[in-house]
Copies of this chain bind each other. A is one copy, B any other.
Amino acid sequence: MSGLKPMDAEQLRENAHKMVDFIADYYKTIEDFPVLSQVQPGYLRDLLPDSAPTYPESLQQVFDDIQAKILPGVTHWQSPNFFGYYPSNSSVAGFLGEMLSAGLNIVGFSWITSPAATELEMIVLDWFAKMLKLPEEFLSAGQGGGVIQGTASEAILVVLLAARDRILRAEGKEALEKLVVYASDQTHSALQKACQIGGIHPENCRMLSTDSSTNYALSPNVLNEAISNDIAVGLVPFFLCATVGTTSSTAVDPLLELGKITKSNGIWFHVDAAYAGSACICPEYRHHIDGVEEADSFNMNAHKWFLTNFDCSLLWIKDRNALVQALSTNPEFLKNKASEANLVVDYKDWQIPLGRRFRSLKLWMVLRLYGLENLQSFIRNHIDLAKCFEDLVAQDSRFEIVTPRIFSLVCFRLLPPHNDETYATKLNHDLLDTVNSTGKIFVSHTVLSGKYVLRFAVGAPLTEERHVLAAWKLLQEEASALLAPL
């Protein structure tokens, strides 16, 4: 054997201390980088060799390459000037949890492969359900329970499969082509992808129209009508995905009314609160998920706006058996006493992959090292900053707020001169492009009722009022420059 000692404790100690300093220094200087990477497609190919090295290189060489070649190609999601998409915020606690998880490097597919991984996940998901005041049926003590998925896409997929297989067990598998899924046209594209994967016919996916009259929330009447039409022609409604905090504009579907409809029609009701779920730990925002009592499953991403490093998507379900019946396998080589005796949860049967990381550690550490009260303040602060930005936009008559702000996202646009709506898209597209090209901030966009709209999402862990003010100043300046020649 060569001299390679791949897991020598002292080598780990020495080198990992260096990595800690590298990462701490990165955060110290994070504002010096362009927020949105400014490299050109294919930039890295010429900077790296064509093949893996035959002999070892030093950690210093790797650090030098990270600094010179990798960091220029990074879009800095943790920068205080990152206002694009939704946040994916990190924290010291979340980072420490990731370190420990990577250090232990267990693969927790079955309880026996590390009981603590399964049990801590159950406990912490129960804690979180209580913080959100979810109904008791979502707790692990009864027939339900929580599980950490990688992403909301996977959460939607697994509940869609649970719902699909539940109805196919009742109706026979030939019914697949008759199954109909409902959601608003604001629903995340993950639903469409889940339908495609699960073999739901694309023409049976009802992406129901919304508009500004409901602030882009799904109308119960529209849903009712769609269901009636489908039943009339012999189709089988089976799944509704409602959203609390849509990706484009934080629209909130009316859960209570939608839930009554799904209940009376025997439809699986999933609530996707990937982004806005975090806000619901504050009593004053909890009402946005009123009606979750009616839901069969509920999802929020702790990795978005809850300081838990990516990935950590929380899914609760009332009938865990539905999930297990759709996703379980029981090969001989994984059989063990605890599983056979049905004494334990084996999370492999609640998810797509077999293997899984010890992700509950980071969420547990976020909750313990910060505490509920600090976490509520953290959310409120971001919402206050978004409100501050909204007020600034509202004071500048060249701009308009496109939908009322609900959480920490502001949807706005530059009004086209002379109400020239055909010019509006180009103008706002150019504004987006110009500000992002400065590298000083990163903002993203969407389209609402045909309008090209800028999205300003507050949520990075280092964002303070001064960053929001500077971002607004930059937007104003670039807007002035764009409008000047007209």
**Between-chain CB contacts (< 8 Å), 29 pairs:** A6-B92, A6-B93, A7-B90, A10-B28, A12-B95, A13-B20, A13-B21, A16-B24, A19-B100, A19-B103, A37-B112, A39-B115, A43-B115, A44-B123, A52-B368, A53-B367, A54-B373, A73-B116, A75-B112, A75-B113, A77-B104, A99-B102, A189-B329, A189-B330, A193-B329, A196-B326, A303-B355, A332-B445, A333-B446
Give the nearest-CB partner of A338 in chain B: B41
In contact, B6 and A91 (Cβ under 8 angstroms): yes
Give chain A interface residues in 41-58, CB to chain B under 8 Å: 41-45, 48, 50-58
Our pick among B26, B196, B247 for the contact of A104 (Cβ within 8 Å) is B26
In contact, B105 and A78 (Cβ under 8 angstroms): yes
In contact, B199 and A176 (Cβ under 8 angstroms): yes
Q: A43-B115, A74-B114 are in contact. Are A374 and B2 (CB under 8 A)?
A: yes
What residues on B are CB-neighbors of A128 within 8 Å? 52
Give chain A interface residues in 1-33, CB to chain B under 8 Å: 1-2, 4, 6-13, 15-17, 19-28
Q: Give me 16 other A-B pairs in contact (C-beta within 8 A), A7-B462, A37-B115, A90-B103 excluded.
A: A6-B92, A9-B25, A12-B20, A26-B103, A42-B343, A61-B368, A73-B117, A75-B113, A88-B355, A94-B102, A151-B355, A157-B352, A193-B327, A310-B357, A333-B444, A337-B433
Task: Say how far A452's CB is from chain B's closest CB, in angstroms.
Answer: 9
What residues on B are CB-neighbors of A78 within 8 Å? 7, 104-105
- Alpha-carbon distance between A77 and B107 when the two chains are bound, in angstroms: 8
What residues on B are CB-neighbors of A473 within 8 Å? none
Q: Mostly helix, strand, loop or mixed at chain A's interface?
A: helix
Q: Is A198 an interface residue (CB 8 A)?
A: yes
Our pick among B9, B45, B198 for the contact of A199 (Cβ within 8 Å) is B198
Q: A99-B102, A113-B75 are in contact. Are A62 and B365 (CB under 8 A)?
A: yes
Our pick among B69, B123, B377 for the contact of A48 (Cβ within 8 Å) is B123
